[in-house]
């Protein structure tokens, strides 16, 4: 065996082995049931999912969302870049949510964001995490005596106001709906709206100091009753969510060893401020407020220099705690977002798309394989072998570089099947011409490849440039098509020029073949 042929053969075996090794993860993943995947070690499963071929929304099923950023309440300065900031925050949340190969991009010329989440099963949970504004604030809580005095003042005002336009009809309209439990003020679910309506009246707002406001805490179960705590807090926060460095879900609070919590760690810059705040308010309560709902209002026992705090979540689940930690780590959206378009692709529809796409490739490939065998004989078998390698290399590259395979991507693969055979047809016809002119087999093969090379290179480079343009200027499905088309062109050039030539050289140089079927 010639030295250069030996090195070509070694290089080919290395490439082939690498491709088969890369695709072994996809084969293993496809053979495992959902139960087997659930029982895998999390690290092992993540490794397996990272190295398998990623299917797009149209093949795997999932969610398609278009969000619109509401800038109506932003200043002109805040409007600048609000969509870009929202996009990055949503991207961070989705990354931490654990969706593999999501599509997140800003639509040109609009305050809209396109999101595609392949394989997402819990759509409601995903939408909650993506769209939640999540404004976290730390606010000082007013003393209970001051809150009680203000509630009495409001109650007396309401009792005296018995005009025709008021709903007040009893001596204690406000306090009759409020219960004092453990020194705090609670309202049953049935009466919460009525109390809220009272507190939102303009005449009642005038009784509340401008630097104070009433906030509801999240619901609690007290003696089998669902109740909401009402707290009087300072209007201005002492710290915001920008002070949070990390947020981790956990179990075990001071009052409940099985209670769910989120542990917070402040940034280095905020720690000194937090230490000063807690030091100046020992014995007082600080409310941890998320989107105007008090999550907890712990009493400051001592100065906290470490910058560590926790949000106790009561009867919440661990999943809810993890969702909250994701939102806090990713940050607050600069403006609310609303869903203007939502589509779901079911797993069965995605499976059907895969089946039909694969069927089209198999049928198209089978027709070409039969044609090549009939028309070119044994040389057609060499071309068919190169075609199979072409498909193998395309899938291996998709898997290795974590590209996403979409339905248009399958169309790109079908196109490259035709392009792969086209190159071999050019080469074989050139070899036929050289054989007819009386050249030996070895000389005809060498001359045929040389003369066809320029034509094949020109066609492949032109198509590859088009694929690059489609990828950079296209969106969504166009990109999926461009990726497989570009990879297919590269794989085709390698198999048509290198692999088939290596096989022919082996036949003429090592096996000393004097005639070929072509």
Q: Is the pLDDT of residue 165 over 60?
A: no
* CA 172 – CA 161 distance, rounded (Å): 11
Nearest to 288 by CA among 253, 312, 307: 312
Q: What is the number of other CB atoms lying within 10 angstroms of the CB of residue 4?
A: 10
Question: Quick one: pLDDT band at residue 168, thresholds 50, 70, 90?
Answer: very low
Q: Is the pLDDT of residue 164 over 80?
A: no
Q: Which CATH number fits domain 346-509: 3.40.190.10, 3.40.50.1100, 1.20.1640.10, 1.10.645.10?
A: 1.20.1640.10
Give the distance, in angstroms, between the CA of residue 455 and the centroid of all CA atoms in the same chain: 43
pLDDT of residue 466: 92
Let me know: does 486 contact 409? Beta carbons within 8 Å. no
Cα separation values, 17 from 14, 387, 389, 404, 431, Å: 5, 17, 12, 22, 30
Let me know: does 234 contact 140? Beta carbons within 8 Å. yes
Q: b vs e for 274-294, b when ≥16 Cβ sit within 10 Å of the residue's Cβ? A: bbebbeebeeebbbbbbeeeb
Half-sphere exposure in the Cβ direction for 329 (13 Å, CA):
19
Q: Report pLDDT digits (tens) over 173-198.
A: 889 999 999 888 999 988 999 999 99
User: In the predicted model, what is the mean pLDDT of residues 56-82?
Assistant: 78
Please give the structure tokens belonging to residue 428: 């074989």
* CA 9 – CA 27 distance, rounded (Å): 26
* Burial status of residue 320 (CB atoms within 10 A of its CB: 0-12, 13-18, 19 or more): middle
User: In the predicted model, what is the mean pLDDT of residues 237-263?
Assistant: 82
Q: Report pLDDT digits (tens) over 18-32.
A: 999 999 999 988 888
Q: Report pLDDT digits (tens) over 313-342.
A: 766 778 778 877 776 666 667 677 888 888
* CA 469 – CA 465 distance, rounded (Å): 6
Q: Report pLDDT digits (tens) over 353-396.
A: 778 878 888 888 888 889 999 999 889 999 999 999 999 999 99
What is the phi-psi region of residue 147: left when phi exceeds 0, alpha when psi lies from -120 to 50, beta otherwise? alpha
pLDDT of residue 517: 82
Please give the structure tokens belonging to residue 412: 């790109």
Tell me which of 130 and 441 has the higher pLDDT.
Answer: 441
Asked which of 50-59, 210-219, 323-332, 406-415 is least confident by mean pLDDT, the reply is 323-332
User: In the predicted model, what is the mean pLDDT of residues 94-123?
Assistant: 75
Query: Domain spans of the chain?
Result: 346-509
Backbone φ and ψ for 359, nearest 5 degrees, come out as -60, -40
Question: Quick one: pLDDT band at residue 130, thresholds 50, 70, 90?
Answer: confident
pLDDT of residue 166: 46
* CA 518 – CA 380 distance, rounded (Å): 7
Asked which of 39-53, 99-113, 431-445 is least confident by mean pLDDT, the reply is 99-113
- The mean pLDDT value of the chain amounts to 84
pLDDT of residue 237: 92
| Secondary structure class of 239 (helix, strand, coil) | strand
Q: Report pLDDT digits (tens) over 441-498.
A: 989 999 999 999 999 999 899 999 999 998 888 766 788 889 999 999 999 999 999 9
Q: Is the pLDDT of residue 270 over 50?
A: yes
Q: Report pLDDT digits (tens) over 217-226.
A: 988 888 888 8
């Amino acid at each position: 065996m010639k030295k250069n042929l030996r090195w070509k053969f070694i290089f080919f075996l290395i490439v082939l082995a690498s491709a088969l090794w890369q695709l072994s993860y996809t084969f293993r993943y496809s053979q495992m049931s959902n139960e087997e995947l659930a029982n895998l070690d999390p690290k092992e499963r993540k490794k397996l999912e990272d190295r398998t071929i990623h299917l797009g929304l149209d093949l795997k099923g999932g969610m398609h969302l278009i969000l619109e950023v509401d800038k109506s309440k932003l200043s002109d300065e805040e409007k600048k870049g609000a969509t870009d900031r929202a996009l990055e925050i949503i991207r961070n949340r989705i990354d931490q949510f654990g969706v593999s190969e999501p599509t997140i991009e800003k639509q040109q010329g609009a305050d809209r964001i396109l999101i595609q989440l392949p394989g997402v099963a819990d759509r409601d949970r995903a939408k909650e995490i993506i769209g939640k504004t999540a404004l976290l604030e730390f606010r000082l809580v007013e003393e209970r005596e001051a809150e009680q005095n203000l509630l009495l003042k409001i109650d007396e005002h309401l009792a005296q106001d018995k005009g025709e336009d008021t709903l007040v009809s009893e001596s204690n309209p406000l306090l009759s709906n409020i219960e004092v439990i453990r020194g705090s003020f609670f309202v049953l679910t049935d009466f919460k709206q009525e109390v809220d309506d009272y507190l939102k009246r303009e005449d009642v707002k005038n009784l509340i100091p401008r630097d104070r406001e009433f906030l509801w805490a999240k619901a609690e179960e007290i003696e089998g009753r669902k109740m909401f705590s009402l707290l009087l807090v300072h209007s201005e926060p002492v710290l915001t969510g920008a002070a949070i460095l990390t947020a981790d879900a956990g179990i075990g609070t001071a009052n409940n060893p099985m209670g769910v919590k989120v542990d917070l760690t402040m940034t280095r810059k905020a720690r000194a401020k937090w230490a000063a705040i807690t030091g100046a308010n020992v014995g007082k309560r600080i409310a941890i407020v998320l989107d105007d709902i008090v999550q907890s209002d712990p009493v400051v026992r001592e100065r906290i220099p470490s910058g560590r705090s926790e949000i106790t979540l009561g009867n919440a689940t661990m999943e809810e705690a993890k969702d909250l930690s994701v939102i806090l780590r990713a940050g607050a959206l600069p403006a609310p977002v609303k869903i203007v378009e939502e589509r779901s692709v079911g797993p069965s529809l995605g499976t059907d798309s895969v089946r039909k796409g694969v069927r089209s490739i198999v049928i198209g490939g089978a027709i070409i394989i039969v044609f090549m065998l009939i028309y070119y004989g044994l040389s057609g078998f060499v071309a068919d072998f190169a075609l199979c390698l072409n498909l193998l290399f395309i899938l291996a590259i998709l898997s290795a570089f974590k590209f996403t395979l979409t339905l248009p991507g399958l169309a790109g693969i079908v196109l490259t099947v035709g392009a792969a055979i086209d190159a071999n047809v050019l080469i074989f016809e050139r070899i036929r011409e050289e054989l007819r002119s009386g050249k030996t087999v070895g000389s005809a093969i060498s001359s045929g490849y040389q003369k066809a090379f320029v034509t094949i290179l020109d066609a492949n480079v032109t198509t590859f440039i088009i694929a690059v343009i489609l990828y950079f200027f296209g969106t969504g499905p166009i990109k999926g098509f461009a990726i497989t088309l570009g990879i297919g062109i590269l794989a085709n050039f390698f198999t048509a020029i290198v692999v088939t030539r290596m096989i022919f050289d082996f036949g003429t140089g090592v096996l000393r073949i004097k005639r070929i079927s072509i």
